[in-house]
Structure 1
Amino acid sequence: GAALLGRMTTNAFLRVPGRRGAVVRSFAKDMRRPLRVFLVIVALSATIPVAGLPYRWIAILYQMLLVVFILLVGWSLSIGARFWSQQYLSHMSMDGDDSFTARKHVTQIRVLRRAMDLMILVITVSAALMTFKPVQQYGVSLFASAGAASLIVGLAARPLLTNLIAGVQIAITQPIRLEDAVIVEGEWGWVEEITSTFVVVRLWDWRRMILPISYFLEKPFQNWTHQSASLIGAIYLNLDYRAPIEDMREELARIVRASALWDGNICNLQVSDATERTIQVRMLASARNAPQTWDLRCEIREKMVAFLRANCPEALPRLRLFDDRPGDGPEISPPRPTGSSPG
């Protein structure tokens, strides 16, 4: 009867029409199983007093129903947190060029939701244990471990809670966000996933680097897209002193204007250094994000080298050798050996 009532109640919510009805229907679908368990608990609670069982058995059954109810509440809270976070994130898109706000919100929601799931689990298990007098001390210990860092019980719980607190700090302060371009441990990649205890960085060659979440609060790292996804790429060429700088500036402007990767902001060429043999030319160009910046740098480098090779080959670096020996002069006969003349 309880299962039938639960199915009827769920079906009633699933028939709610309209735009908001879609959200109600989706939520009712997720809460279908917890609702059925709740109705079973209610039915058993009403049946136990009239079953004619001994008082001891009635107390045990009520204790079991209380534990199941507490676990049901924790389960329902976890489902509700996941549902509403998914509903919020469904309106976010990280595919566009200007995805800064979306990445910020997605990072906050995902990290905080995972931290909330862990807190719900700890509190639910603690509350269930608190219903048993012989094991109340274990529940108190769990509550203590879920508190501030100064109340952490045991060295075993310390790393977990340290990373959990670091995850909450990252969700609030946001030194990193999902799809941020970062350099960690000398490797360049993107933040692919942020959990409550670790961060997955997708490297440029598709490898994955797994780092504890506390790493991003305790060690320095580079975040190329912290404020904006746009980046400036630098291209360096070592050339001969005869390199046509003005012609190269015009060629650089032509290359970036013809490229779909350029964002239309930065285009610059300067002689950044000079040695006894070559000069160093630095070219700057901006793009919308890190991958496009890399591709634009490669495109400019390839086309500029081709331009110099075709139009000004003397600008390419070369090694000069000078012969400082004296030139051809009057022939000098080798000295004759000394000694007595014949005869």
Structure 2
Amino acid sequence: MLDRLRLSGWTLDTEHLIVTAIGLAVPITIALAIHWVLFTVLRKVAARTSYKLDDAIIRTMRKPMRWAMIGFALSIAAHADALVGAGWDLAAKWLTPVLLGWVVYSFISALGIGLREDAESRYDPVAVRSHSTRIAILTRTAKVAVIIITIALVMLNIPGVRDIGVTLMASAGLAALAVGAAAQPALKSLIAGLQMALTQPLRLGDLVKVDGEAGRVEEIRMSFVTVRTWDERVLVVPTSRFLDNSFENWSRVSEKLTGPVFLHLDPIADIDPIRAEFERFVKGHELFDGRNIALLMTEAYPESVELRLSMSSGTIGDLWQLRCDTREHMLKWLRENQPDALIRHRLEVPRGHEKAGEP
């Protein structure tokens, strides 16, 4: 076995290699021990609080902080050993921004998870949707910024990329125009996403009607919003669509709504018994919340009248079911109690039988 090794201009013997290995193992072991003790204590402290934010931060930051502390231990060892220092100087150019970016990215994720969990445990469903929408958009924006900055810091340490960047500075004006034109849709989506987070015309879980389709908002991203319809289709709508055009938000303030059932009856219909039966049925229904109930004749035509039966319920889904039950019950009641009120198309032919008998 050779007693002497040459590596990167340094002359090393076996004893020096052993010292270097020990110099690496000791700070790394100490860093891992400190990491274990620190997060064990923090986990026990967080378990005593009622907030979920600290639990999410400790749970999410455990792994990236372990590698960050290992990197810190390597930097300490690099100051004590010239061989480690030479290798660390080369690796630190890429590892340092990557580790820092990972730590910041994980911290932003932990904030988003913790704040959302706290909101779910402390607020009503409407407030939870509001908080979740704002948290989702802002954390996603911050993550994108962290990724871009991290990649930029790593690429600046690559000599070839840095030289290309210096060369392109001579045509900075033309490049700025080209990038600005190409990035206009992306910038518009970014601004629309931030505006969506601040103004919140819609939130996660809201029931909206857009382009004639109604559904629940499942996901809000910087460039698009996904809406799940009742038949399980997914509508992908550009984010700017909700800012530039009108749409219906049926749960903007709360899930409580008033909905109608329309009946088209013959003008001979007796309205008072119909109103009494409608009120009796709805007031006895378990989905009725007692806020609004009314029967009004909204139109009168030569051969029909239009009755609007309005009722309210605590949620949009309950209101839909209540309207369907009311519509079915009232038609059944009319068939059994006022069959003449149901519209029939009549055709009168004077002396029809006599004409039918003519040759």
Q: TM-score, normalised by structure 2?
A: 0.78
Equivalent residue for 2:71?
A: 41
In the TM superposition, what are the counterparts of 1:44-123 in structure 2 within 5 Å? 44-48=74-78, 51-52=81-82, 58=86, 61-93=88-120, 99-123=125-149
Of residues 219, 229, 235, the one that matches 1:209 is 235
What displacement does 1:139 show?
Answer: 7.8
Q: Is the 8 A contact 1:14 1:28 kept in 2?
A: no
Give me the whole-angstrom Cα distance separating, in 1, the residues matched to 2:139 and 2:178: 22
Structure 1 pair 233–25 and aligned structure 2 pair: CA distance change class (3 A) = closer
Unaligned runs of 5+ in 2: 1-24, 167-175, 355-359
SS of the residue corresponding to residue 209 of structure 2 reads strand
2:34 aligned with 1:9:
yes
- Partner amino acid for 1:40? I
Give me the whole-angstrom Cα distance separating, in 1, the residues matched to 2:198 and 2:242: 13
What displacement does 1:51 show?
Answer: 4.8
Unaligned runs of 5+ in 1: 141-149, 329-343
Equivalent residue for 1:322?
A: 348
SS of the residue corresponding to residue 273 of structure 1 reads strand
Give me the whole-angstrom Cα distance separating, in 2, the residues matched to 1:67 and 1:172: 36
Of residues 236, 241, 248, the one that matches 1:222 is 248
What displacement does 1:189 show?
Answer: 0.6
Q: Percent identity?
A: 33
Give me the whole-angstrom Cα distance separating, in 2, the residues matched to 1:72 and 1:121: 12
Structure 1 pair 166–63 and aligned structure 2 pair: CA distance change class (3 A) = farther
Give me the whole-angstrom Cα distance separating, in 2, the residues matched to 1:169 and 1:137: 38
Structure 1 pair 139–23 and aligned structure 2 pair: CA distance change class (3 A) = farther
Give me the whole-angstrom Cα distance separating, in 1, the residues matched to 2:119 and 2:188: 30
What displacement does 1:177 show?
Answer: 0.5
In the TM superposition, what are the counterparts of 1:108-147 in structure 2 within 5 Å? 108-132=134-158, 134-136=160-162
Structure 1 pair 25–323 and aligned structure 2 pair: CA distance change class (3 A) = closer
Q: Which moved more, 1:160-169 or 1:37-46?
A: 37-46
Give me the whole-angstrom Cα distance separating, in 2, the residues matched to 1:294 and 1:318: 28
- Partner amino acid for 1:35? M
Of residues 288, 306, 309, the one that matches 1:283 is 309
2:226 aligned with 1:196:
no
Structure 1 pair 283–29 and aligned structure 2 pair: CA distance change class (3 A) = closer
Give me the whole-angstrom Cα distance separating, in 2, the residues matched to 1:183 and 1:5: 59
Structure 1 pair 25–188 and aligned structure 2 pair: CA distance change class (3 A) = closer
- Partner amino acid for 1:275? Y
Structure 1 pair 45–93 and aligned structure 2 pair: CA distance change class (3 A) = closer
Q: Is the 8 A contact 1:107 1:171 kept in 2?
A: yes
Q: Is the 8 A contact 2:116 2:132 kept in 1?
A: yes
Structure 1 pair 217–26 and aligned structure 2 pair: CA distance change class (3 A) = closer
SS of the residue corresponding to residue 179 of structure 2 reads coil
Of residues 174, 185, 199, the one that matches 2:211 is 185
What displacement does 1:33 show?
Answer: 2.6
Equivalent residue for 1:31?
A: 61
What displacement does 1:63 show?
Answer: 4.6
More helix by share: 2
- Partner amino acid for 1:36? R
What displacement does 1:233 show?
Answer: 0.8
Give the aligned length: 315
Give me the whole-angstrom Cα distance separating, in 2, the residues matched to 1:207 and 1:229: 22
